[in-house]
Every structure is written in structure tokens, then in C-alpha cells.
Structure 1
């Protein structure tokens, strides 16, 4: 059976562990997305970059997918498939007049801009926004963090949310909760209650599926291809989706751990009798000012236990590539 995987992120490489397929990616390296903040803070792209091993990897941009003839058409030629897995990661839709941190180039560009600035405003109090706020403060900047909800890290435990708020406040980050952004122009961020002068505005929200999904005309939710409980496309029975590229009607979180599980299940379902996809979010770890904390099996942890959970997660990611 000819199987093709589009995208070499957590889901795509997890699928490759099940069955060696032709993997097509625009980059020649795997990105540790949860290390992008470290790239931003330190300026070393290798912190988040792991080169792909030679073999079934093809570096190319996908121009078209002919679903009727079962062909993936790239700038390097056309390739036939019997089963196709789309695991092309995510993209980020940002507010006007803001910067993003979607990939390594973004992280390096953002570092240059922030290094020249004094006042930084970050939109979004999720995991990325919280870690960016800490990193900017460690770089000696005046930092404001704007969140629309009444707490930070809204998807995590109350203990993690409160700990993040306390730690950021402790290091001098101005945390503004229950704030809706009403406009960004002329170096000012306007919310329902504040007007913040800003040299740089960073958007840590707006994550959605990759542009490829909509460009290929696939049924989608917020740019993520819609799949059934077996991770099979609702449009084509021999096309599957996994990771941040896909979601079910019941919703699948955009998470590295979930992507690894989805990639494995998707490839197994492509090869044999399918089984329904279920996922488990084992650990979500955050770092503020060098201190690790987060949720492990649904319980708040900090210090050495949290740091060990983070290192285990990185080690597993590296194993996907090697």
C-alpha cells in the first residue's frame, strides 16, 4: 500500500513510526514548537530544530492534491497514494499591527524587534502568552499581558492559573484580565478599560489549521480538516487527518501530546481495521522565570517534578525523529 504523509510535525513523525511512508514537508527539519520561546529569548534556532534523517523524506511544497486520481502534486513532481495523511500542523491568524511566533523564523524576527524596544504588550494569556511575558521581562522590558477571560491558562487547573498570575505579578508583568482588544494603532493597544503604549505587540492567540486544508477545499472547522471518530476525512474515505491539522465534531485539542497519539492512530487505521480515536493529555508544563509548573495527570505540580515531566516530553519528541 502506498501511503503519503503531508507534514513532519508531531503527528506526521508519529505516523512514520508505525509505517515508513513518503513524508512531504516544506522544511528539512522538525520543529520543537514548545521550544520557540527559548529560541526567542536566547537567539539560537537549534534549540527548536532537529534535522530530518535521510530516507523517505521529501522537501517540497504541495501545490495541489488530486483527490479523484489519488495524487499529491508538488514542485518536485506528482506522487500517487492509496492512503493519504494530512498532518501539516497549524497556522496563526493575528490581529492587525501585531507580530506572531508561529515558527523559528518568527521567533528570531520577534527577538530582534523586542531587543530594540522598551514596552511590550502580549495578547492572550494561554501557555504561549504566559511564557512570552516571562521571557520579555527577563530581557528587561516593560510587559503587559492582556487576556479576555477572568484567569490565565484557562484550560488548566485553578492552581496552575493562580500560580501563573502570582509569578508574573511577582516579576513585574502587568496582567490585565477580562480585557477585550478594541483596537491597535499608532503604538497603542486599546482595550475596554485600558490604553497601553507599546513598541511591540505580540499576538499569542488565533491558532487555526494550516492554509493547505482550505486551499484543497476540505470541509473544516477554523481551518482544521473535519474528520470522523476514526480520523478519516468526512470528504474522502482514503484521506486521514491528525494533529493540529484536524478535528472531530467533538473537538480535538491542539497539543503535541495529542498530535503524537493521533498520528499513531491515524496510520494504524489506514493500514488495518480502524478503531476510534481517544486521547489523553498527560502533562501540560509551563515555565516562568526559570521555574517549572503545570498539570500532571490533572494535578498541579511544580519544581523538580514539573521539570522532569517537561524533559521526558522533549526526549520523546526527539525519539520521533531518530
Structure 2
């Protein structure tokens, strides 16, 4: 059996490792990566800017040589797949270093091509100093620009996850940071009343926030010197673009493959596409949302690894279904931790679900143990049944604990009363006698 995997990062290599464990030695596994790096933690890259992670090499989990020498995987680099011939069961592409074409037949194929940053068609976007962060080469380019040009003011276009992480790490190295956001808030996946806590933190720490303005163009001779929006012009020495990502699915035919609204490949719970013997997993694939009971697109490393493992198991006949996501994420921004899971109030409205919300601000730990450990919890629940629909938690301590409890409750379709009945841990350094999420749950009864 010949297994071919397009993509050498989280989902692709999770699948490859699962295939090596579950298949015979005579089987052939070929992985095709268009870059030069395999299996690395993209989420750690913003912290290389500030030196909290010392080097881009530190985020590499396994170098390509390990896959080749230890596991017998034919792991190739600089192999860009440009076409899939599903009738002949063959992939075609270009070796980007030599420029030579290649074609490889397969018995089973996994598409694990991930996502790329959206690059808007803004005038002047090709000027030096306008960069994005997605992979190791991007990060090295940013570090090189900082070293050679010593920018004082950095403008970030987009206030999502990566935008806030970049803002924090540029502040860490003493830069003036500005975020320009087209909407009226940072972190669009959470509700505005919770986002206000993030805005306050940004302003207190000296991050300039520009809302409800759209970037139009950039000015400068060779290097960027200003960002032009639909309302103002802002001097800057460097720009980071963070306005979203798109699935890398250009290599598949829209006429043949089922794709979602964002361009993601639609898969079933076994990671199968609508084409026989072709699977997809990770950031380029759909993610079934257990709360929405619909396919969703929430590209995260945790999901990519799970889907890759499950794809690999199914490719070798070990039937295992992906159980779906509930939309859980967490982010550190300056001195705040920001967590969310399930549906926001905005999403619940869009789905026409009758709902109500509760929000509490309280102590993350026993109030007498340490002062100032405040935490804000918002839960969204179905009005009649009291079924939990989602939660958002922001604070300086204990956010991860609370958001994971809420995620577990969502996975098991729990009500707010059942949430209140949970036997959660307590000691003054960690909690009060009533956990903050249970304080919120009490207000729903």
C-alpha cells in the first residue's frame, strides 16, 4: 500500500506517524512539504520576537531527518503539489529548488496543506517592512528586518489572535505598537462586553487602538513609512498584516471536491472527502462543531493533530471517528488571559437559538489570600432548557482552568444546573469555595 501525504506539519505528520504504527513494514509512506521545515509549533513563533522562545529552532518538534532515519518515512522538502488527478490516483507538482516536475501515484492520499495568511490587494503592500507571520521563514524575515532597520513604531493590521500576540511581544522589546481594526473591537470571536476588558488592558499598557477604520494603502519609497486608512494616515516603521487566513486548497478542483464557504475541504467524521481514497485533515479541512451541530472552520493546532491522527488510523483500516470541536481557545495578552469556548452571544443570535446570558466579576482565588486576582466569567445558555451554549473567561489567573471545565461541560451537553453540581477543586491559592463558573451558573437558576 502506498500512502501519500501533502503537508509536513501538525495533521500531516500526526497521520504519517499513525500509519507507521498501524501498517505493515512493506507499506510506503511519502510526505510532500513545499517548505523546508517539518513538524513545528507555529503558535510559539510570536514569542521568538521577544526572546521568550530563544530561537525558531526551538519550536521544531522533530526535524525531517528523524522522520526519515528513525521512522522510515520518505519525507521530502521543497515539493509543491499543484494538481491532484483523482482518476489516475496521482499527485503532480514542482520541486521548487530544481524546478523539475514530479508525479507520484498513491493508493491513499491525505491533504494536510494548512492555511496561509490573507494578503489583501492594498496599494503599496510590496514595500519593504510589510510582513506577515505564519511560518519559520516569515519569523526569520521579521527578525532580520528588526535587526537591520530598528523600527520604533510597529503597526499591526488586524486584532485577532496573532495580532494580539504580536502586539504583546513587540511591546516586550520596547516598540511603540498600534493596532488598526476594521470592526469596533479586538478579538471578534468574543462578545463586545468582554472585549472591553481587553481594550482597557491594551490602553493601560500603551498599545494604541484604532477601531472602525479600514486600511487602504501604504506609503514609502522602498520601505513603508505610513499606513493609510479610509479616514487617516499613520506614520510607521513596520507593518504586520494579520487579517485572517485561508485554507490552502487551490490544488483541488472545485468541480470535483466539496468545499465549504471559506474554501475548506468538507470531510466526514472519518476524515474522508467526497472522493474515494482521498482524506483531508487539519487547518485545510472542515471541523464538526458539537454545539452548533454543523460543520465549522476553526483552524487550531490541537484540532489539526487530532484530525491527523484519526485520518491516519482510518487510512490503515482502524476505524475511528472524529468527535468534533466545541470551539475552545485561549490567549495571553499582556497581563490578561483570554479564553472562550462554545458559542458567543453573537453566534447564538445568528443561529436563532433562544438564549440568555450571565456575567460575573469575582475573585479567581480566595479573596483574602491575594488581592487583585479578579476574573470575569460570561456564560451563554439556552433559555428554556438551561443547556450550556458557551462561555468566555478573562482574568489574570485561573482562566485556563475555568475555560477547560466549560469546554468539558459543553462536550457532554450539560445544563447550568449540572455545571453547578460539579465537584471542583478548592484551596485558597487556587479558588474560592464557590468557583467563578459556578457562581455564574447559580444566577441562571
Structure 1 pair 224–278 and aligned structure 2 pair: CA distance change class (3 A): farther
Contact kept, 8 Å, 1:4 with 1:84, in 2: the verdict is yes
> Are 1:66 and 2:97 an aligned pair?
no
Structure 1 pair 196–217 and aligned structure 2 pair: CA distance change class (3 A): same
Task: Determine helix, strand or coil for the equivalent of 1:31.
Answer: coil
> Are 1:205 and 2:243 an aligned pair?
yes
CA distance in 1, matches of 2:308, 2:340: 23
Structure 1 pair 226–84 and aligned structure 2 pair: CA distance change class (3 A): same
Deviations 1:77-96 (A, max 9, x none): 65432221100111123242
CA distance in 2, matches of 1:69, 1:190: 50
Equivalences for residues 45-84 of structure 1 within 5 A:
45-52=56-63, 53-54=66-67, 55=71, 56-60=73-77, 61-63=79-81, 64-73=83-92, 75=95, 78-84=103-109
Equivalent residue for 1:232, pick from 272, 275, 285? 272
CA distance in 1, matches of 2:328, 2:58: 21
Gaps (5+ residues) in structure 2? Answer: 21-28, 288-293, 343-390, 404-445
Stretch of structure 1 that moved more, 91-100 or 68-77: 68-77
Task: Determine helix, strand or coil for the equivalent of 1:226.
Answer: coil
Contact kept, 8 Å, 2:111 with 2:280, in 1: the verdict is yes
Equivalent residue for 2:282, pick from 219, 230, 243? 243
CA distance in 1, matches of 2:14, 2:338: 26
User: Partner of 1:32 in structure 2?
Assistant: 41
- After superposition, the CA RMSD in angstroms is 3.1
CA distance in 2, matches of 1:49, 1:166: 35
Equivalent residue for 1:196, pick from 226, 234, 241? 234
Q: How many residues align?
A: 307
> Are 1:130 and 2:164 an aligned pair?
yes
Structure 1 residue 50: Cα displacement? 2.1
CA distance in 2, matches of 1:188, 1:296: 37
CA distance in 2, matches of 1:176, 1:239: 45
Deviations 1:239-265 (A, max 9, x none): 121111223794321111222232233
User: Partner of 1:319 in structure 2?
Assistant: none
Using the size of structure 1 for normalisation, the TM-score is 0.81
Contact kept, 8 Å, 1:261 with 1:279, in 2: the verdict is no
CA distance in 2, matches of 1:190, 1:31: 35
CA distance in 1, matches of 2:304, 2:144: 31
Structure 1 pair 308–72 and aligned structure 2 pair: CA distance change class (3 A): farther
- Structure exhibiting the larger radius of gyration computed from Cα positions: 2
Deviations 1:199-232 (A, max 9, x none): 111101241122xx31343555577443243443
Gaps (5+ residues) in structure 1? Answer: 311-322
Stretch of structure 1 that moved more, 23-32 or 71-80: 71-80
User: Partner of 1:252 in structure 2?
Assistant: 297
Structure 1 pair 290–10 and aligned structure 2 pair: CA distance change class (3 A): farther
Structure 1 residue 272: Cα displacement? 4.3
Contact kept, 8 Å, 2:264 with 2:284, in 1: the verdict is yes
User: Partner of 2:219 in structure 1?
Assistant: 185
Equivalences for residues 154-169 of structure 1 within 5 A:
154-156=188-190, 161-169=195-203
Structure 1 pair 168–252 and aligned structure 2 pair: CA distance change class (3 A): same
CA distance in 1, matches of 2:160, 2:196: 13
User: Partner of 1:294 in structure 2?
Assistant: 339
Structure 1 residue 68: Cα displacement? 2.2
User: Partner of 1:12 in structure 2?
Assistant: 12
Structure 1 pair 290–184 and aligned structure 2 pair: CA distance change class (3 A): same
Structure 1 pair 118–28 and aligned structure 2 pair: CA distance change class (3 A): closer
Structure 1 residue 282: Cα displacement? 6.2
User: Partner of 2:137 in structure 1?
Assistant: 105
Deviations 1:256-289 (A, max 9, x none): 1222232233334444497775522464221223
Using the size of structure 2 for normalisation, the TM-score is 0.61
CA distance in 2, matches of 1:84, 1:164: 43
